[in-house]
A and B are shown apart, each in its own frame.
Chain A
Amino acid sequence: MLLLQVIVGGLLLGAIYALFSSGLTLIWGMMNFINFAHGEFVMLGMYVSLLVVMYLGGGPAAFGFGAAFALFVLGVVVYLSLIRYVLRGPMLAQILSTFGLALLLRYTAFWIFSANFVSLPQTSLSGTINVGGILMPIPQLVAGVIAILLTIGLHLMLTCTTIGSQLLAVSEDRGAAMLMGIKPDRMQALAWGLSAGAAGIAGALMAIAYPWSPSVGETFGLTAFVVVALGGFGSVPGALFAGLIVGLIQALSAFWFGPIYKDIVVYALFVALLWLRPQGLMGKA
């Protein structure tokens, strides 16, 4: 029973990993671009939620949308003002630009909101439900379920709508997509918007249960890298499964070996898997 409880906790957390990693995998797969500032998008999503709650008095739905919208806009702005110019440059320039961006975003938040830890005031989501002896905190449960639904939604959007089809076309063959009349720049801007927006909602969902400060993004960024690499660059379903698996592994190894070993286990498995299957769990071979 205790073990089942651990598994449930791991999966609920893994669902959130899946959501913000799916944003990262989107631009990674589409543009072959590492975004070191992705964790910062999650962090900003958390602060936007706080602002919405404090100044507009919104509930979880309101701040979720608020964070998604604000971060979508930020993602597009970042693409148009910075990323499009470094996209064609060497990989090192990409690392440079997004690392600088991460510092810029983190410390702008620091400047505005100070270094102090904040958490959302108690929302309408609280309490715990008991399902056959397994305790599920409602905030985490709602956050996890929404995260899974949104990740699946993102996947459906990519595979079943015209705009998603155009996005994938650009990621598959930029030149051929241009021959169809698709403007790659517009699609890539959209991808950045979606990527940041997904991170923003993930931030809002985390904010329900987790206190934070401006440096919180660092942790999320590294986790997202592992999830994306495990799931295969560019694969949203891959990110979903990898996210759940990473959450599960972390929870189980924390329970069996102790919490300091949970990241060791994740990284070790990750490195081992890279050797055995370099294209990731669900990546294109």
Chain B
Amino acid sequence: MSDLVVEHLEVRYGDLIGVADVSMRVDNGQIVALLGSNGAGKTTTLNAIAGLVHASKGRVTWRGEVISGQPSYQVVGKGLALSPEGWRLFVSQTVEQNLRLGATALADRTRIEALFDRVYRLFPRLRERRHQLARTLSGGERQMLALGRALMSEPKMLLLDEPSLGLAPTVVESLYDTLLQLHGDGLTLLLAEQSIPLALGIADYAYVLQTGRVAIEGKATEMESNRQVQEIYLGIGTPTELQR
């Protein structure tokens, strides 16, 4: 049975359409990649799943429960955490405060220390800088903090929106190592990426979005050789997120 099922999702921003029709599923323990050019609707899809924007049509089901229509502060409590595009850290607060905020939805408060420990073991840099303001961190450190913060709610599934954007190649590499490690620990991942080789390198399954619809889907291994995918990226499809 699939953990996450998205059926015919549509999101409107006033008269603008962010996502026209997206259906997808993520199975327990999978890594699923969500591909597409800038403006194809990746971010909107993730935000709709996490409850940050409202679906105007369609529905999202998580482990048998319909979660579309629920606000994100409820969704996160069900084990589904989103690390949003651009990380959106609380830059005027310290590293530790950011992490603690990540644990807000945690039902079992006694787990906090263990979770801090896990994050600090994963990212020793964050332990060193735990009293520093988030705005003083470097790009790579910010990514670590964003990931760590999302992990603090002890999610079953992690939604990551363009985690590698704007990072140096070596930093991206270690990020993906970490993701694989987390996956090994049993975390399900839904990963939105612009960079195809990176995402397909670790994903089991992939969806390609174009103008707010699923254009192609398939096993990651098959996708890598699919010509259509390449075409989409060469700009045959137009970005339409802001189109009527």
Contact = CB atoms under 8 A, between A and B. Distances in A.
Given A178-B73, A179-B76, A184-B73, 4 more contacts: A178-B52, A178-B71, A179-B81, A180-B105
Contact of A179 (B84, B91, B100): B84
B55 to A, nearest CB: 16
A183 B73 contact: yes
Interface in A152-204: 162, 165-166, 168-169, 172-173, 175-184
Contacts of A173: 88, 90
A168 B89 CA distance: 12
Contact of B90 (A162, A172, A178, A181): A172
28 contacts: A162-B100, A165-B93, A165-B97, A165-B100, A165-B101, A166-B101, A168-B93, A175-B52, A176-B90, A178-B51, A178-B52, A178-B71, A178-B73, A179-B72, A179-B73, A179-B88, A180-B76, A180-B104, A180-B105, A180-B149, A181-B76, A181-B77, A181-B104, A181-B153, A182-B104, A183-B71, A184-B73, A284-B92
A166 B102 CA distance: 10
A137 B59 CA distance: 67
Contacts of A182: 73, 101, 104
A255 B105 CA distance: 56
Contacts of B82: 179
Given A166-B104, A175-B52, A180 B88 contact: no
A178 B72 contact: yes
A269 B117 CA distance: 52
A182 B105 CA distance: 7
B50 interface: yes
B92 A172 contact: yes
B73 A181 contact: yes
Interface string B124-158: 00000000000000000000000001000100000
Contacts of A168: 90, 92-93
Interface of B: 50-52, 71-73, 76-77, 81-82, 84, 88-93, 97, 100-102, 104-106, 149, 153
B101 A180 contact: yes
For chain A, give the interface size range: 10 to 19
Given A181-B76, A181-B105, A183-B73, A176 B153 contact: no
A172 B149 CA distance: 16
Contacts of B92: 168, 172, 284
Contacts of A184: 73
B138 to A, nearest CB: 20
B11 to A, nearest CB: 14
Contact of A176 (B84, B97, B100, B105): B84
A162 B51 CA distance: 24
Contacts of A179: 50, 52, 72-73, 76, 81-82, 84, 88
Contacts of B100: 162, 165
A177 B149 CA distance: 11
B153 A175 contact: no
Contacts of A166: 101, 104
Nearest to A173: B88
B229 to A, nearest CB: 30
A-B residue pairs, 9 tightest by C-beta: A181-B105, A176-B88, A181-B104, A178-B72, A181-B76, A180-B104, A165-B97, A180-B101, A181-B73
Nearest to A186: B73
Contacts of A162: 100
A146 B43 CA distance: 49
A221 B200 CA distance: 59
B106 to A, nearest CB: 8
Interface in A268-283: none
